[in-house]
Amino acid sequence: MGPRPDRPAFRVRLQAPLAVVEARAAGRARGQHLSNAREHLHAGADAADDLRLEVATATPAEVARAALPS
């Protein structure tokens, strides 16, 4: 799927310490692949982000409010 002028895209990076990400993965009923966090730790690190959010202590609702335009 290519760019859509009617739907602008923004790159949002969600950041959390590796230990937090791994703990969350361990607590999931599905998708328990602890190595995924380590493998993706630096994915896209050289790309420009429109917004970076620290999510280690944020709830999903807080992250959504911070990421979505008002």
Would the pLDDT of 1 be above 60?
no
Would the pLDDT of 65 be above 60?
yes
Q: Which domain holds residue 58?
A: 12-67
Q: Is residue 2 part of a domain?
A: no
Per-residue pLDDT tens digits for 20-48: 888 887 877 676 666 777 777 777 777 78
Q: How many independent structural domains does the chain possess?
A: 1
Map residue 15 onto helix, strand or coil.
strand
- Can you tell me the distance from the alpha carbon of 4 to that of 6, in angstroms, rounded to the nearest whole number? 5
Q: Is residue 28 part of a domain?
A: yes
Q: Is residue 39 part of a domain?
A: yes
- Can you tell me the distance from the alpha carbon of 62 to that of 3, in angstroms, rounded to the nearest whole number? 28
Q: Is residue 25 part of a domain?
A: yes
Would the pLDDT of 59 be above 80?
yes
Does the predicted model carry a pTM greater than 0.75? no
Q: Is residue 3 part of a domain?
A: no
